[in-house]
Amino acid sequence: MDHSFLSDDEAIPCAGLGRDLRRVGAHPDHWYPLAWSRELKAGKTLAVRFADKPIVLARPKDAARPVFALEDRCAHRQVPLSQGLVEGCAIRCGYHGWAYDQSGQCTDVPYLGKGKLPNGVRAYPVQEKEGLILVFPGDPALAATTPLPALGSVANPAYKTRRFGQIVGCHYTFMHENLMDMNHQFLHRKQMGQMRPRFLGQAQGEDWVEARYSFARTDGKQPWGEAAIFGQRRGTQAEFADKDVMTIRTEYPYQTLRIRTKDATPVMDLWIAYVPQDSEQRTNRTFGLLSIHKPKIPGILEAAWPLLILFTERIFKEDREIVEQEQAAHDMQGRDLNQEVFPVIRNLRALLMERGTPEDVPRAVSRAPSLERVVE
């Protein structure tokens, strides 16, 4: 691989950028997917999370009325409203029966006069798009002027999309770094055979960083799952090498991965978001849209779909295990000791640091740092 991108001083390892990146919170002033539409039935509630914020989503029985989102704690006894009842465009707490409308205002306490109603709960802006329920957890005044994310090619009928996701036990920044550094192809050597990534270059803007790669197969055969994505089987190394370009971009706070052939024919579009699930942001829920460009011959992609699912699940499993070990190392070491030498990842880290919350996420439980590595 060409490594002329590294100037001498860039090669000096650096552990971090002053602040610990793993304590930088995901900035709340964006639209985050908090659930799949199919998870929230008519007339029901769903408990979801954004970082330290428990949120209840509610879908009125009347399909004409939109989903709404409230803080998932009754203002009275702080128990989850998600265990209450949906009544029209309101939720009634299941404990003492306090009710809140979609703006969070308390509209009824069964044993209290209407003129004396207590304070309500916080409401969150919500939008539903392409099977995702997106919530704006930050300053509600900014929601109207903040655009919803473009969701890859999910709306394009030339693509077939797999919706996937899971809870991953790590800070969301590990997810961005994992995907953008394609040298981690080595991790997937059993699934993909030996592939040598070739870094083609990087680019960046105010709120994004991207890396471009091509790949050469150095050993092993192309797996069937990969063939399903590319729409054809390429048997030999020579045919494969440098034919396709993969572009991975973090456009804060989302991430995309696109594959195009050398002549710019679309192959695959991935859109993905990582949503912190706990106060310390040490877990995230992944929402991914994997859109495969349909080949000219109809039916091939549908036939290969189960293989594609199996293949991607295996890849995701390896990625989940390794990023959870990165988090475990951070927990044990008490801070970020990564020695990142790859310039595009250093740029990505700087972007995540800059775009995240200005204040560190608080630690729920103090962990003793091991001082061993510092003094070396």
Binding site for its own copies (CB under 8 A): 1, 3, 6, 8, 11, 13, 52-54, 73, 75-80, 83, 94-97, 109-113, 116, 118-119, 122, 181, 183-184, 186-187, 196-197, 199, 279-280, 322, 325-326, 329-330, 332-333, 337-342, 362-370, 372, 376
For its own copies, the closer of residues 310 and 322 by Cβ is 322
DSSP class of 344: H
Strands (E), the chain: 32-36, 44-50, 53-59, 68-71, 85-87, 90-92, 99-101, 106-108, 123-124, 126-129, 132-135, 159-164, 167-168, 194-204, 208-219, 244-251, 254-261, 266-276, 284-293
Q: Measure the CA angle with vertex 299, ends 295 and 300; round to 5°.
A: 55
CB of 172 to its own copies, least distance (A): 16
For its own copies, the closer of residues 255 and 327 by Cβ is 327
- For tokens 């991108």, the residue is 5
8 A C-beta contact, residue 79 and residue 60 = no
CB of 70 to its own copies, least distance (A): 13
CB of 185 to its own copies, least distance (A): 9
CB of 52 to its own copies, least distance (A): 5
For its own copies, the closer of residues 11 and 155 by Cβ is 11
For its own copies, the closer of residues 1 and 203 by Cβ is 1
CB of 213 to its own copies, least distance (A): 11
With a CB cutoff of 8 Å and minimum separation 6, the contacts of 49 are: 34, 55, 275, 276, 277, 278, 285
For its own copies, the closer of residues 119 and 145 by Cβ is 119
151: nearest Cα among 273, 261, 266, 292: 273
Residue 92 CA to residue 74 CA, distance in Å, equals 9
CB of 32 to its own copies, least distance (A): 16
Residue 289 CA to residue 270 CA, distance in Å, equals 6
As given in the structure block, the two tokens for residue 232 are 């054809």
For its own copies, the closer of residues 118 and 201 by Cβ is 118
